[in-house]
């Protein structure tokens, strides 16, 4: 076989056509057989046409191969001539696979045709640059840190993703590609003292290991001789080679940097089996990819590697094919094709997928169970989570079958004939292996669910407010007592002989305030709306005190109103709906996705509300596509099952139609009548629906404010669902308010409600937040590019070629017509529609409806699409003049795409960067880098926070938030709620504690000031001994053994928390004496104290200010002695240190 290399004429063939031809079999079955027929040193290479099929093979490999013996080598998913680097996660996966291959332990490599014929790093680079760290070994510390930089690791303050590392004193955190968790390397000098796997979310230790592999984190590794031939070819590489500064797309210069191209086959051993799964389709996809790359290369002005240097596989692929056994599987193989693969017949399971329709589900499953009994076969059911294992145990027990729980890897021969097994696995399609008597069927094929192998995570620890905010140098902050100032960082000062660290804050007139780190809880980040710059307060002025008092009064009224509403609802008598039954479970099984943890929690909270005798009034918050509608569907089913009617109100006719379609599809197999009332429904049909609603013949009605008109009446309304209530007018909101008093109400919103606000309102406002993205959803690739018709042409053409739709956002109505002409010239055959706020309501809805239905290819619009429809096929967005948008708005706009399982792309079009302000560049950089899912809930998008607060508390609160900042406002709200609920009893401020001991975090222990500040904030919010121990463990784990000043600070924080519970105002050490004073309403027994002084216990007495003093044995270290003394003085066990 001859392989024609790209660049030497159009390649006639890319992949081999020789080899054993077979009919294309279920990929999971192919992997199962390969698990039996491969061995170390002679692996199998499974090549698929698409990434989706490759991912399916990877899931199957988890079933049949031990961990580490099967790897995935993904495609780069970026065109090499577009000046963009591959996604960091993709690079990590590729290098992890190559590193594992060099170890010789791999028996299966899964890849795509695209990845097979695309360049990569040469094997000698991976082999020579991968280092193994072992506990007890000598490794020069400085050299190791420098090596990580050379290997392409990014040095950051903290580690979360593969390819990152952080340094703190003698501790190095790093996340090696191919690893499931990052590793904490603790050095003692140049000796590796310990290796600890840790959780990137909590930064806490998971387990210890004896050794780790540290491969390169980039396919460009800085090494001697790198790029010696590249400088004459490309000036773009000069800065990298001289300064070490990497640039987007540097990976595509690999052939010039290393002097040769590397390919996946170069990394494989001499013998093995190559299986091409779907050869013809794979060939077409690769050919298209290479042709597209060449098109773009020819349009470039600057030098770049030739096509044959980046694609084709070169002689290494030819060499592989000459030595390996090749099997080519085709959908339509030639006549006479053999049916067996390694002697096995792999077929689809007869009658699968089972029809997930009411009444037929168990019938199909019973057929499989009967076959297993009659033929003595083994039935294996794969499920994605431990929860689903339990579901199947119940279902099968009802059929008199008690399944075994199989463990991974699955040993088919060890399963007794005639048995049924349930195993955790994420494959989507099963298979029949007759020679083994094995039937494998998946959860998706039985229930119609789309699942992936991921257990239902336990609820994530909700971060406290102090953990959610970072205060940056130069940013505005609010001190609870002194008001708004500018934070200038941490500063060491001396108080007598004691060194301390303080937060330095500048106020009006240049005055400085130094806040001790143990009181950093009094400092909040300031965030107002938009680009508002707050005036600085003046130290000593009453202005801040008065402003804070006014806002607090308003906040107390808001909290009191909410509490009163909550109390009335608690006392009201509502309807208790019947709890979920078997029919409800069958309806729930029709949900085609796996519920996310947040979604499952929201569903459970709604069920608890509805089955209780008080009226429900719950808010469900989650981005479009995150699963709010499913919560509404389950609530509706529960209501209808109890004989009640449901009204679902939507702000627009298009949204009403979308929900009507969804509800009709989900309820079609149940005796439930769903109707729609909106302007799109004919007058005759409207009259019929209104009549039938009154007579009880309609169970669920979905509509716009038409449902609130006088002629609409219900026979027995039990549940009202409101989508985006804030978009209804004042009159309609008043009618909704009246409805709330009589029926259960569920409100849905896509406006992010900050977690901090949810925590603050806990117990007086029922909210469920869904912030977990659906499983398998990919993050949106974001590019900031200067305006270029070529870039726009390529981005739009790519989306249209794959059958998708495009948003083109241009936020100037006066010039939107010119942009329309420009797009029509570029794409004469595309269906283009325009949408903006000055259009008539009916016309705008007609356009949006057409886009939702797929009748429009490119929607040219203003930012009105920021919130709206869920259009899964729209997966490319171009934002024109992106520098004019705020960060929150860019985030919201980008959230319109990426709702499908395919990769989505956002292009932020800007003028030349030199013409942009520094703030605009920073904003664009932030949104470009912020590509992980769910990041909007942790990003400091203050506009969104304030918008969410306005939705819950009323828009009039925006002015008060502006006065004190969002963080301070939430703090005041939390305080007001606590005071109202506890009637003010037992709530005391934290006391001042001065023990005249060093209490701070030394610079050489935690050099990064931002991390020090983060630890200070956590310590300042310690309220219990357990909090202290948790913070201590985290600091010890991340930074090593605690120095004495850090231990002191932790103990002082715990001491303040203990003393506040009994109303202590202050505790001070004065030489050999300890002085304590109490607040007026402190519950401490004054008679005990007088008795103490009268008996001169510990030489106790009162000072001139009324403080109680005693002679102390505390020497600055023995905190247990101090705790004992305080407890004796107070007369009760309060302090435990």
Q: How far, in Å, CA of 508 to CA of 484, rounded?
A: 9
CATH code of 806's domain: 3.40.50.300
What are the backbone angles phi and psi of residue 633, rounded to the nearest 5°?
Answer: -65, -45
Last residue of a domain, one of 913, 932, 951: 932
Q: Which of 162-171, 426-435, 518-527, 1046-1055 has the highest mean pLDDT?
A: 1046-1055
Domain housing 842: 781-932
Q: Which residue has the tokens 């800065």?
A: 239
Whether the full predicted model's pTM is greater than 0.85, yes or no, is no
Q: Give the number of domains in the chain.
A: 6
CATH number at residue 1063: 3.90.1150.50
Q: Is 432 helix (H, G, I), strand (E, B) or coil?
A: strand
In a domain, 937, yes or no: no
- 334 compared with 121, residue with greater pLDDT: 121
In angstroms, the CA 559 to CA 553 distance is 10
> Does residue 266 share a domain with residue 192?
no
Q: What is the pLDDT of residues 835-881, one digit of tens each?
A: 988 888 788 888 988 998 889 999 999 988 876 667 888 999 999 99
- Domain end point (choices 885, 912, 932): 932
CATH of the domain at 97: 3.40.50.11180
Q: Are 87 and 928 in contact (CB under 8 A)?
A: no
H helix or E strand, kind and range, residue 794: helix 789-801
Across the chain, what does the average pLDDT equal? 83
- Is 558 domain-assigned? no
**Using CA of residue 665, residue 668, residue 671, residue 675, what is the dihedral sign?**
positive
Q: Are residues 96 and 155 in the same domain?
A: no
For residues 628 and 220, give the distance between their C-alpha atoms in angstroms, rounded to a whole number.
44
Residue 540 domain flag: no
Average pLDDT of the segment spanning 408-426: 90
Q: In what order do the strands lie in the sheet with 1101-1102?
A: 992-994, 1064-1070, 1073-1078, 1108-1111, 1101-1102
Between CA 356 and CA 447 the distance in angstroms is: 5
pLDDT one-digit tens code per residue, 9-26:
434 444 555 556 778 889
> Which residues share a beta bridge with 439?
379, 432
What letters, b where the CB count within 10 A reaches 16 and e where it falls short, cover 905-918?
bbbbbbeeeeeeee
Average pLDDT over residues 604-629: 88
Strands 273-277 and 325-330: parallel
Mean pLDDT over 287-310 rounds to 78
pLDDT over threshold 60, residue 499: yes
Burial (0-12, 13-18, 19+ Cβ within 10 Å), 555: buried
The DSSP code for 138 is: B
Whether 730 and 657 map to the same domain: the answer is: yes
Q: Is residue 373 part of a domain?
A: yes
Contacts 24+ apart (CB under 8 A), 1034-1038: 1034/202, 1034/203, 1034/204, 1037/184, 1037/196, 1037/198, 1037/203, 1037/204, 1037/205, 1038/168, 1038/171, 1038/173, 1038/184, 1038/203
pLDDT, residue 29, reads 93
pLDDT band at 700 (very low <50, low <70, confident <90, very high): very high
- pLDDT (mean) for 277-286: 79
Secondary structure string (H, E, C) spanning 797-813: HHHHHCCCEEEEECCCH
Task: Identify which of 1045, 1019, 1013, 1014 has the alpha carbon closest to the alpha carbon of residue 1032.
Answer: 1019
In this predicted structure, what is the pLDDT of residue 307? 79
Report the pLDDT averaged over residues 557-580.
Answer: 81
Q: Are residues 592 and 677 in the same domain?
A: yes
Reported as a single tens digit per residue, the pLDDT across 62-110 is 999 998 899 999 998 887 777 778 888 889 999 999 999 988 889 999 9
Residues 102 and 144 in one domain: no
Residue 350 has pLDDT above 50, yes or no: yes
Q: Are residues 100 and 199 in the same domain?
A: no
Residues in the chain, total: 1137
Query: Is there a single domain that holds both residue 283 and residue 421?
Result: no
| pLDDT tens digits, 711-730 | 889 999 999 999 887 677 66
Note whether residue 314 is domain-resident.
Answer: yes
CATH of the domain at 193: 3.30.2060.10
Do 591 and 677 have their domain in common?
A: yes
Q: How far apart are alpha carbons 870 and 848 in whole angstroms?
A: 11
If asked whether residues 743 and 790 sit together in one domain, one would say: no
Domain final position from 321, 341, 361 = 341
Closest CA to 166 of 189, 184, 193: 184
Inform me whether the pLDDT recorded for 610 exceeds 90.
yes
Report how far residue 299's alpha carbon sits from residue 793's, in angstroms, rounded to the nearest whole number.
13
Helical spans, DSSP H, in 497-575: 543-571
Residue 499, token pair as written in the block: 């060194």
Which structure tokens are listed for 963?
């006065």
- What percent of the chain has pLDDT above 70? 84
Query: Does residue 892 surpass a pLDDT of 80?
Result: no
Tell whether 693 is covered by a domain: yes
Residues 804, 756 share a domain: no
Q: Shortest CA distance to 36 belongs to which of 376, 431, 432, 410?
A: 410
Cα–Cα distance between 699 and 47 in angstroms, integer? 51
Neighbours of 893 (CB within 10 A): 23
Is 271 inside a domain boundary? Answer: yes
H-only helix segments in 941-1022: 942-953, 958-964, 966-982, 1009-1020
Does residue 113 belong to any structural domain of this protein? yes
pLDDT number for residue 938: 42
797 and 836 co-located in one domain:
yes
3-class SS string, 499-517? EEEEEEEECHHHCEEEEEH
| Peptide linkage before 353 cis (omega within 30 of 0) | yes
Strands 378-383 and 438-442: parallel
pLDDT of residue 833: 95
Q: Are residues 252 and 315 in the same domain?
A: yes
Q: Which carries the bigger pLDDT value, residue 82 or residue 441?
A: 441
């Amino acid at each position: 076989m001859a392989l024609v290399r790209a660049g030497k004429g159009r390649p006639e063939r890319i992949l081999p056509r020789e080899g054993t031809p077979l009919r294309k079999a279920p990929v999971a079955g192919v992997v199962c057989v390969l698990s039996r027929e491969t061995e170390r040193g002679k692996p199998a290479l499974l090549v698929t046409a698409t990434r989706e099929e490759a991912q399916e093979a990877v899931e199957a490999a988890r079933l049949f191969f031990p961990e580490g013996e099967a790897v995935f080598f993904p495609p780069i998913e970026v065109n090499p001539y577009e000046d963009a680097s591959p996604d960091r996660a993709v690079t990590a996966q590729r290098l992890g696979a190559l590193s594992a291959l060099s170890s010789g332990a791999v028996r299966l490599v899964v890849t795509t045709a695209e990845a097979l014929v695309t360049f990569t790093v040469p094997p000698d680079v991976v082999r020579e640059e991968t280092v193994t760290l072992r506990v007890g070994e000598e490794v020069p510390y400085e050299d190791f840190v420098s090596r990580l930089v050379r290997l392409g690791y990014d040095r950051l303050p903290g580690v979360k993703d593969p390819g990152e590392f952080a340094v703190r004193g003698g501790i190095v955190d790093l996340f090696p590609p191919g690893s499931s968790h990052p590793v904490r390397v603790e050095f003692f000098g140049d000796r590796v003292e310990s290796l600890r796997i840790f959780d990137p979310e909590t930064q806490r230790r998971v387990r210890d290991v004896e050794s780790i592999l540290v491969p390169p984190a980039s396919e460009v590794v800085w090494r001697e001789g790198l790029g010696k031939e590249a400088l004459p070819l490309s000036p773009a590489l000069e800065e990298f080679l001289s300064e070490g500064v990497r640039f987007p797309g540097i990976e595509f210069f690999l052939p010039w940097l290393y002097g040769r191209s590397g390919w996946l086959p170069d990394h494989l051993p001499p013998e093995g089996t190559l299986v091409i799964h779907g050869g013809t389709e794979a060939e077409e996809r690769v050919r298209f990819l290479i042709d597209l790359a060449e098109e773009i290369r020819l349009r470039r002005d600057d030098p770049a590697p030739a096509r044959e240097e980046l694609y084709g596989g070169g002689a290494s692929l030819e060499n592989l094919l000459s030595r390996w056994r090749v099997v080519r599987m085709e959908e339509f193989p030639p006549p006479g094709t053999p049916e067996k693969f390694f002697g096995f017949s792999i077929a689809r399971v007869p009658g699968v997928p089972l029809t997930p329709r009411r009444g037929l589900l168990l019938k199909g499953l019973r057929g499989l169970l009967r076959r297993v009994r009659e033929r003595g076969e083994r039935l294996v059911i794969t499920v994605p989570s431990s929860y689903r294992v339990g579901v199947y145990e119940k279902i099968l027990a009802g059929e008199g079958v008690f399944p075994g729980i199989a463990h991974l890897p699955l040993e088919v021969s060890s399963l007794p004939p005639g048995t049924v097994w349930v195993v955790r696995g994420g494959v989507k399609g099963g298979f029949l292996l007759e020679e083994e008597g094995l039937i494998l069927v998946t959860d998706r094929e039985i229930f119609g669910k789309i699942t992936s192998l991921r257990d239902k995570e336990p609820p994530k620890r909700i971060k406290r407010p102090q953990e959610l905010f970072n205060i940056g140098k130069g940013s505005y902050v609010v001190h609870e007592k002194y008001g708004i100032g500018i934070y200038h960082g941490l500063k060491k000062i001396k108080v007598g002989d004691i060194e301390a660290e303080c937060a330095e804050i500048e106020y009006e007139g240049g005055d400085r305030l130094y806040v001790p780190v143990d009181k950093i809880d009094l400092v909040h980040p300031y965030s107002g709306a938009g680009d508002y710059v707050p005036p600085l307060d003046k130290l000593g002025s009453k202005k801040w005190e008065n402003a804070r008092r006014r806002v607090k009064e308003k906040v107390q009224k808001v909290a009191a109103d909410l509490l009163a509403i909550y109390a009335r609802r608690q006392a009201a008598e509502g309807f208790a709906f019947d709890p979920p039954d078997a029919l409800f479970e069958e309806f729930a099984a029709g949900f085609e996705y796996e519920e996310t943890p947040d979604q499952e929690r929201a569903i459970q909270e709604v069920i608890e509300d509805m089955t209780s005798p008080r009226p429900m009034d719950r808010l469900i918050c989650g981005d479009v596509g995150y699963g709010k509608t499913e919560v509404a569907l389950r609530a509706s089913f529960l209501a209808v099952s109890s004989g009640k009617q449901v009204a679902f109100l939507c702000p627009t006719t298009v949204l009403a139609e979308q929900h009507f379609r969804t509800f009709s599809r989900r309820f079609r197999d149940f005796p439930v009548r769903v109707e729609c009332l909106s302007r799109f429904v004919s007058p005759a049909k409207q009259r019929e629906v209104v009549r039938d609603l009154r007579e009880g013949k309609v169970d669920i009605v979905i509509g716009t404010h038409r449902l609130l008109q006088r002629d609409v009446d219900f026979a027995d309304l039990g549940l009202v669902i409101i989508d985006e209530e804030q978009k209804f007018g004042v009159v309609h909101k008043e009618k909704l308010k009246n409805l709330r008093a009589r029926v259960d109400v569920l409100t849905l919103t896509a406006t992010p409600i900050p977690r901090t606000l949810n925590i603050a309102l806990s117990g007086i406002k029922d909210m469920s937040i869904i912030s977990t993205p659906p499983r398998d959803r990919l993050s949106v690739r974001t590019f900031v590019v200067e305006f270029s018709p070529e870039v726009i042409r390529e981005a739009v053409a790519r989306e249209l070629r794959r059958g998708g739709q495009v948003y083109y956002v241009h936020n100037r109505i006066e010039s939107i017509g010119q942009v329309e002409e420009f797009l029509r010239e570029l794409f004469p055959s595309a269906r283009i529609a325009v949408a903006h706020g000055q259009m008539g309501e009916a016309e705008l809805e007609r356009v949006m409806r057409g886009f939702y239905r797929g009748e429009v290819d490119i929607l040219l619009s203003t930012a009105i699409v920021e919130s709206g429809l869920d259009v899964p096929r729209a997966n490319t967005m171009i934002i024109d003049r992106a520098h004019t948008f705020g960060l929150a708005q860019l985030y919201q706009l980008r959230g319109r795409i990426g709702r499908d399982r395919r990769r989505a792309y956002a292009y932020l079009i800007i003028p030349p960067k030199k013409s942009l302000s520094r703030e605009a560049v920073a904003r664009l950089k932030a949104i470009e880098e912020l590509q992980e899912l769910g990041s909007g809930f942790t990003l400091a998008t203050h506009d969104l926070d304030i918008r969410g607060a306005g939705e819950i508390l009323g828009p009039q609160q925006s002015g008060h938030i502006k006065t004190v900042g969002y963080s301070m406002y939430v703090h005041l709200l939390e305080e007001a709620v606590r005071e109202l609920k506890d009637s003010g009893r037992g709530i005391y401020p934290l006391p001042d504690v001065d023990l005249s001991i060093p209490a701070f975090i030394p610079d050489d222990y935690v050099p990064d000031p931002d991390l020090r500040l983060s630890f200070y904030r956590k310590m300042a919010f310690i309220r219990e001994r357990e909090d202290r121990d948790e913070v201590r463990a985290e600091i010890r784990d991340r930074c090593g053994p605690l120095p004495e000043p850090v231990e002191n600070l932790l103990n002082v924080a715990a001491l303040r928390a203990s003393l506040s519970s009994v109303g202590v105002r202050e505790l001070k050490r004065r030489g050999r004496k300890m002085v304590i004073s109490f607040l007026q309403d402190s519950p401490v027994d004054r008679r005990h104290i007088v008795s103490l002084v009268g008996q001169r216990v510990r030489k106790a007495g009162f000072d001139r200010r009324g403080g109680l003093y005693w002679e102390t044995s505390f020497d600055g270290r023995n905190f247990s002695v101090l705790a004992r003394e305080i407890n004796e003085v107070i007369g009760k066990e309060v302090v435990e240190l």
